[in-house]
Amino acid sequence: MSDPDESVPEPPREPSDYAAESSSAASPDDPGSALGGVLEQEALIEAEGRIRSGKLAGRSLLSAILVVAIPVLFQQSMAATVGLFDKILAGRLPDRIVEPALDAIGIGSYISWLVGIAMAGLGIGGQVIIARAMGSGDPKDAHDALGQSIGLALIWGSLVGLVLWLLVAPLAAISDLTPEATELLGEYVLTIAFSMPLCGVLMVGSMCLYGAGETVLPALIMVAVNAVNVVCSWLLSGVDVGIGGFELVNPTGIDALTSGVAGIAGGTALSYLTGAGLIVLCLMRGVRDLSLRPTAMRPTRLMFGRILRIGVPSFLEGLSMWGVNVFVLGFIGIIVATNRETGAGPVEGLVGAHAVAIQWEAFSFMPGFALGTAAGTIAGQFLGAGNVRMARKAIITCTVIGMSFMGLVGVAFILFGSALTRLISDQPVLLEEVPKLLVICGSIQVFFALNMVVRQGLRGVGDTRWTLIITTVSSYGVRLPLAYVLGVVLGGGLPGIWLGLCGEIVVRGLLFTARFLHGGWTRIKV
């Protein structure tokens, strides 16, 4: 028999329903009236602690975790594959441009990360409000949050696209890219920038669905996005791809030397177009207790303010993390410049090696992200229902599962780093650097899981101010100094930088755990 707090009757019933049943069964003059009053109180407590609407209503805690986390894990796998395939194509461009192309797309990954930060900052506001509305049984609040989040995504995406284009020259200079790599970076980013409003709709729409506990649809949409990216990026790049000894010849006749990087970006932009169209179609048709209504897309001061109150700290947190890692690119640039002067190490390919290691690292934290999403969604809905105990239990359970899964991925990184690198490219600089980075990353995966799941859980319940404070203090107070000292001052190179980055992840995970144990997140009003 399941814990009464872990499941929700369907259809949800108002406390007054239980009161009516109790009053009809007993009266003050009835010898059983005292017992009837006790039963009435128990029914009221039980009803008030349960999720009242949405897909998670009526499910046990473990069932709710699986319903949310498994599709999110699949979706994140598809999203990571988009970036991975782009790097595989870049690694198979003609030899004359392969290293500058990998460096350019490596910087492009940082720009894509900024896109994710910008969109998630807006999306988390809608996600949190919708989760609370599902728990409390307030569908109107959920519809309004969805509509205004999508409307704002279009505006915000346009601004993000403009910012991306302005960032090309500064990032190229910070990373000390060659002129050829800088030109390729410009081609890549300009193409991606035009698709940012579409990317915004796709990401924000998916996060709003997360808040309702609906994760299957975003996962299926990401399958379509991934398929379009793979096919279109391959065709538009002009690259021939070898698969298991079989050479897949590109039939378009496009010159990979002149159009390869722009073609890779063009396929990604077309995939965003596909995803945005599908997500809007699904939202217009609606899911359980949530649908996109055109009349709800017009911003109102109240809802707009609620979304921003939650989303702005989340955006600033992500921007803080992104800014720190721009400094890290600068550290790599210092190492490159030193190697150029002394001839002691590689000049081209270090940024690419850093990006390839990050790409594999992205696969490692997918279980953590999925379980963190589940923790935030389920805990948010339980808080909406007034059940703090189950909200806390949801985050703890997801964290334990996440640490187990990510620990296993870390072992794979340690054992198979060279094989994983060769899947992307057999360039000597990558084979020299990337396996070392994966060993360092693999060794702290348990703490990485602690960091990710608890952080996502706190963000999912609206505790975005404290996640901003913890991330900023840890990143600038620990991450930057460690990476600089170990990588640049002590001459540790790229592995030294990664030792600093991974050491800070351990510290940050412990800080997020302390905030969770403090319990202030249970009193956040959204």
What are the tens digits of pLDDT across the range 450-462?
999 999 999 999 9
Mean pLDDT, to the nearest integer, of 351-372?
Answer: 84
Q: Are residues 139 and 187 in the same domain?
A: yes
Task: State residue 426's pLDDT score.
Answer: 79
pLDDT 10s digits, 255-313: 887 788 888 889 989 999 999 999 999 999 999 889 998 888 887 888 988 998 998 89
Least Cα distance to 233 among 250, 209, 211, 215 occurs for 250
Could you tell me what percent of the chain has a pLDDT over 90? 37
Rg (CA), the chain: 25
Q: Which of 118-122, 186-190, 438-442, 448-452 has the lowest mean pLDDT?
A: 118-122
Length of the chain: 526
pLDDT 10s digits, 200-211: 899 999 999 999
Q: Are residues 103 and 216 in the same domain?
A: yes
Mean pLDDT, to the nearest integer, of 183-192?
Answer: 84
Q: Are residues 42 and 84 in the same domain?
A: no
For residue 472, what pLDDT band results from cuts at 50, 70 and 90? very high
Q: Is the dihedral of CA 518, 519, 523, 525 positive or negative?
A: positive
Task: State residue 96's pLDDT score.
Answer: 77
Mean pLDDT, to the nearest integer, of 182-189?
Answer: 84
Q: Are residues 40 and 173 in the same domain?
A: no
Q: Which of 139-153, 200-214, 324-338 has the lowest mean pLDDT?
A: 324-338
Q: Are residues 277 and 405 in the same domain?
A: yes
**pTM of this prediction exceeds 0.95:** no
Q: Is 178 a member of any domain? A: yes
Task: Report the mean per-residue pLDDT for the chain.
Answer: 83
DSSP category for residue 435 = H
Task: State residue 10's pLDDT score.
Answer: 38
Q: Is 53 a member of any domain? A: no
Q: Is the pLDDT of residue 7 over 60?
A: no
Q: Is 204 a member of any domain? A: yes
480/501 Cα distance (integer angstroms):
8
Task: State residue 522's pLDDT score.
Answer: 93
Q: Are residues 215 and 288 in the same domain?
A: yes
Q: Is the pLDDT of residue 12 over 60?
A: no
Who has greater pLDDT, 485 or 77? 485
Task: State residue 108's pLDDT score.
Answer: 73
For residue 246, what pLDDT band results from cuts at 50, 70 and 90? low
Q: Is 10 a member of any domain? A: yes
Q: Count how many domains the chain has.
A: 2
pLDDT 10s digits, 33-49: 554 454 444 444 445 57
Mean pLDDT, to the nearest integer, of 434-459?
Answer: 93
Q: Is 56 a member of any domain? A: no
Q: Are residues 22 and 120 in the same domain?
A: no
Q: Are residues 299 and 173 in the same domain?
A: yes
Task: State residue 244's pLDDT score.
Answer: 58
Q: Are residues 86 and 232 in the same domain?
A: yes
For residue 31, what pLDDT band results from cuts at 50, 70 and 90? very low
Other CB atoms within a 10 A radius of the CB of residue 384 amount to: 27
Distances (CA, A) of 1 to 5, 6, 52, 184, 429: 12, 11, 21, 61, 58
Give kind and range of the element (H or E) at residue 289.
Answer: none
For residue 162, what pLDDT band results from cuts at 50, 70 and 90? confident
Q: Are residues 24 and 163 in the same domain?
A: no
Q: Is the pLDDT of residue 18 over 60?
A: no
Is there a cis peptide before residue 100, judged by omega within 30 degrees of 0?
A: no
Domain of residue 19: give its range.
4-48
Q: Is the pLDDT of residue 341 over 90?
A: no
Q: Is 54 a member of any domain? A: no
CA 387 to chain centre: 26
Q: Are residues 169 and 222 in the same domain?
A: yes
For residue 80, what pLDDT band results from cuts at 50, 70 and 90? low
Map 311-375 to HEC letters. Answer: HHHHHHHHHHHHHHHHHHHHHHHHHHHHHHHHCCCCCCCHHHHHHHHHHHHHHHCHHHHHHHHHH
Q: Are residues 42 and 170 in the same domain?
A: no
Q: Is 55 a member of any domain? A: no
Mean pLDDT, to the nearest integer, of 495-514?
Answer: 94
Q: Which of 59-63, 335-339, 417-421, 471-475 has the lowest mean pLDDT?
A: 335-339
Task: State residue 283's pLDDT score.
Answer: 94
Task: State residue 19's pLDDT score.
Answer: 35
